[in-house]
Structure 1
């Protein structure tokens, strides 16, 4: 047991209110994974460079390795675990990543989906360049990004009720 003071935090995570005591130095990514057993956000670099830990916090995408759990007090958090539709089917983004082969090893995928989720809320019909800029803070070491971009374009089309038209290469 640590002698460090524990601070109470309350937040809503994936629609459920949680209350815990945390050390002030606890990073949000560790709180999610170790205290709440929410393991979708991955620990990649712990320096904010890779984006594997990206979640939605109060409507903005944030890298959970750059936020202390106490800073998320009273926040509304969404992780990749909450991305599926209410009936359990894949969300448009998840479907896009599957259909367009937007993943290989899958390590970056939860953070990439969460960043793309917020990007599409901010800009429901982004251009390829806007998508590339929008996900530029999330690294993928496997795919070369082309299929990730296609996956986001696919999801945007589906969410907008239009047919996805893959660009000629």
Structure 2
């Protein structure tokens, strides 16, 4: 059972969703190994506390998830662009506004959020991204664009 949880859960979900699963697994193993030898009230109290902790962990991961970023890999999203990234942007002759759009896209922001940050319309952001894709010579994927500009 642990093998299937680890294999499926690690691939499909981020590491931030692991704590409730760990708490519930510890609760299950505690019940299996020590549940028969404990007093009934101790068993009920431990189960209640462990379930409350698992529910709280699930709720905190629900309320504090990022909603304005796309699902880009962790290594792609950096706060500061590298020198190679800026050099490649210059090599492809991106305008200053296109550079701003690329930098915000690199942080994982969606087009709507980029438009809000730059005080332009979402259609303008899409136009800038089209121009950037054409200049860089890649398909319409932000991940491919960022990887090509990273070097």
TM-score by length of 2: 0.26
Larger radius of gyration: 2
Structure with the higher strand share, 1 or 2:
1
TM-score by length of 1: 0.24
Structure with the higher helix share, 1 or 2:
2
